[in-house]
Amino acid sequence: MRQEGYKVNPEQPDDVKYEVAQSLGVPLKHGDNGDLTAEQAGKIGGAIGGSMVREMIRQAQEKLSGGDSGGSGR
């Protein structure tokens, strides 16, 4: 999420979802969000999940190319 410009606090990683929601214009609040539509919730989850998948792919490609400095050496 940092690559997309969001602040990620390792002590409170869930806070980034509120920042994402705000940037997308979705009224996410702490507590009950039963008034959100499925589309609104999907926008938040899609933005966060998509970023995570891109990072996992980048890491896997790096490992496969031998660029993983902490790997097992296989």
Cβ atoms < 10 Å from Cβ of 16: 19
Determine the Cα–Cα distance for residues 26 and 21; give it in Å rounded to an integer. Answer: 5
- Answer yes or no: are the C-beta atoms of 28 and 17 closer than 8 Å: yes
Q: Are 26 and 36 in contact (CB under 8 A)?
A: yes
pTM: 0.63
Q: Tell me if 68 sits within 8 A of 62, measured CB to CB.
A: yes
For the chain, the domains span 2-27+35-62
Give the model confidence (pLDDT) of 12-65 as tens digits.
878 888 999 999 999 999 999 999 999 999 999 888 888 888 888 988 999 999
| End-to-end C-alpha distance for the chain, whole angstroms | 30
